[in-house]
Structure 1
Amino acid sequence: MCSIPLLTGWYSQKKTQNVLATYEQVVEQTTGDEIEQLRNQADEYNKKLWAESKGVREQSEPDQMEEYEGLLNVEKIQTGMMCVLEIPSIDLRLPVYHGTSEAVLNEGVGHLMDSSLPIGGENTHCVMTGHRGLASARLFTRLDELKEGDEFFLEVLGEKLAYKVEGINVILPEEVESLEIRPGEDLVSLVTCTPYGINTHRLVITGKRVVYEEKKEEKIKKKRPSVREMIFTMIPILFLVYVVIERIKRKREKRNCEGKRKRNRNQKRKCKHYRRKKRKRKKSRRQKRKMQKTAKWENQMRNSSSFDMFSGGSSKEPGVCRNRNRNYRNLY
């Protein structure tokens, strides 16, 4: 059971890599005219959003939903992926999908429908959301490690857009004022739940568009995982090691018990044999002493001049001879 988070995390990472590789291949195979058409459609959507609401709309109609899902969808396999989010400092590269349904957020990052599409430009504010603390994937788990001045990137239709973090805020779920479009600015906000494991508020990290420099991106150093991240990563590993050690101990104890039982059986057998031999030795010693005693009496009887075997004694000492004769008979 303890290896499940490791296996699911590895599987999710491999699956994400395959999705990103497929997206890049499809973009490369797409003609320039098709990419330009998709870009123009997304730009018109952003302008319409700015003109109508000047921010985030509260509700969307079904026809708007259908139109929205067709924008920036260059893939023919209908996965709903629109771009790639990359945050080098925390070693994160995830696909961005249309909408914020639970199925989408379990696979990657979701784009808030009523916010600007991630193609950049003035009067745009793209909002992306993601989960934290999932056992099956990292997603936005390390998003709180970002600091002001850090950069993240969007890969859209073969173009790379750079954004520099300028604001980090913690808000309530109903507070959407910070997600509204700011006139003349090109913004992207990354939103996730906070505090970790409690999820009563929302962490909003807002980045402002800057000029993309490839050399600058290569110089970005990856941050070391936080203590929390290391603890949550090590817990299943330590638990797995503990289970393996316990199993080895149990096997050894079982072997030792079986060995002790065998030794005890052998000892019992040896003890029985020893006691049997001891009894035999005692019996043989008693018999030997009895035989020696008998032989001694026989010698005494033979050597005695006052003993008469048939009459029971001599005429001089009838009592003594009679007693000796009786003792001699008792020996047999």
Structure 2
Amino acid sequence: MRKSYHKIIGYLLMGVALLIPIYCFGQMVYQSLSKESHYQAYQASLPKKISLARDKKIASYNHKLNQEQNIVDPFLGEAYHVQYGILDNPDAIYGYLAIPSLNLLEPVYLGADDRHMILGLAHVDGTALPSYAKTQRTVIAGHRGYPIKVFFRYINRLRQGDMLYFNDGKETFSYQMIQSEIIFPSEWEKLTPQKGQNLLTLITCDPIPTYNKRLLVHFKQVKKSQNQKFSEKTKEEARDKDPILRALRTTKSKVSARFWFFVTIVVISAIGFVLVLYRLVRYCLA
């Protein structure tokens, strides 16, 4: 029986088409399932005591911030790189940000340049690093989503009172959402510190897909929550007492349906790929 190369090519194209959702959505599912283990690995990699020198560098950075902030829009695609002088490796993870109601747990890097924002979230230079100061604003940037990563895709679902946690390797800072707003890229005055308030603002592009505006979600720092060290305790005990892991486990997620939707797509696509491969093999062997 003479084989039709057109039919074989058709099967191959169908297989490739099915591999795309398997890879993209499979990556999202994997990241959702592995985020806690990555966070725990980060915690385990930290020295037993964060150096006093690093604390002084953070305090110095915050102290030197000009009241008239010079912020670069991280979404304009301009190539730039900031030297904070805080970490030995400028591309190392500075901390982790968690939003339990979105089941979000992402690493945070210093400097919102392209490579950092592909890897995770990024601190925007010209704004304060998290601390317990009475007046400051921290700004964290994140993409609205990549083909294989979610990032800030669902932060428009946040509502007043939702919690956010930021762990810098030494302490866990707790914040509560107070409001959100949409601005033009030129309205940087919206990110200036407010006297007597310790704020953290998330910034991302909006709307999808034009991305010509910026969505800001503002959080206010709440009661101090110190990070715990559990080097001599079991992993389960550490999980129970780490404020981020505890919050992720006990807070009802607003996006859990999306996770199962992604799983369903992966499973259906995988079944389809196996069937196409089976048909291709049968056709070639016939």
Q: How high is the TM-score relative to the length of structure 1?
A: 0.62
Contact 1:123–1:182 (Cα < 8 Å) also in 2: yes
Contact 1:99–1:112 (Cα < 8 Å) also in 2: yes
Whole-angstrom CA distance in 2 between matches of 1:25 and 1:228: 30
> Which stretch shifts more, 104-113 or 116-125?
116-125
What corresponds to 1:89 in structure 2?
A: 101
Residue deviations 1:194-234 (CA, integer Å, cap 9, x gap)? 22333122111110010146799746523242777765664
Is 1:48 matched with 2:64?
yes
Q: Equivalent residues in 2 for 1:283-302 (5 A)?
A: none
What corresponds to 1:293 in structure 2?
A: none
Alpha-carbon offset, residue 184 of structure 1: 1.8
What corresponds to 2:268 in structure 1?
A: 238
Contact 2:26–2:262 (Cα < 8 Å) also in 1: no
Is 1:207 matched with 2:237?
no
Q: Which of 9, 13, 30 pairs up with 2:49?
A: 30
The count of aligned residue pairs is 241
Contact 2:206–2:215 (Cα < 8 Å) also in 1: yes
Alpha-carbon offset, residue 254 of structure 1: 9.1
Alpha-carbon offset, residue 186 of structure 1: 0.4
SS of 1:165's equivalent in the other structure is strand
Structure richer in helix, relative to its length: 1
Whole-angstrom CA distance in 2 between matches of 1:116 and 1:65: 14
What corresponds to 1:170 in structure 2?
A: 182
Quickly say closer, same or farther: Cα 1:133–1:232, change in 2 above 3 A: farther
Residue deviations 1:72-121 (CA, integer Å, cap 9, x gap)? x2xx5553322211111111111110111111001000110111112231
Whole-angstrom CA distance in 2 between matches of 1:195 and 1:92: 20
Residue deviations 1:231-275 (CA, integer Å, cap 9, x gap)? 5664454344334445556778999xx7xxxxxxxxxxxxxxxxx
Whole-angstrom CA distance in 2 between matches of 1:139 and 1:189: 15
Whole-angstrom CA distance in 1 between matches of 2:213 and 2:206: 5
Alpha-carbon offset, residue 140 of structure 1: 1.4
Percent identity of equivalent pairs = 22
Higher relative contact order (CA 8 A, sep 6+): 2
SS of 1:148's equivalent in the other structure is coil
Structure 2 segments unaligned to the other structure (5+ residues): 1-18, 73-80, 226-240
**Which amino acid counterpart does residue 44 of structure 1 have in structure 2?**
S
- Cα RMSD after superposing both structures: 3.3
**Which amino acid counterpart does residue 163 of structure 1 have in structure 2?**
Y
What corresponds to 2:125 in structure 1?
A: 113
Quickly say closer, same or farther: Cα 1:215–1:228, change in 2 above 3 A: closer
Q: Which of 70, 79, 90 pairs up with 1:57?
A: 70
What corresponds to 1:160 in structure 2?
A: 172
Quickly say closer, same or farther: Cα 1:233–1:202, change in 2 above 3 A: farther
What corresponds to 1:318 in structure 2?
A: none
Contact 1:133–1:197 (Cα < 8 Å) also in 2: no
Alpha-carbon offset, residue 131 of structure 1: 1.0
Whole-angstrom CA distance in 1 between matches of 2:131 and 2:180: 22
Quickly say closer, same or farther: Cα 1:193–1:146, change in 2 above 3 A: same
Contact 1:192–1:202 (Cα < 8 Å) also in 2: yes
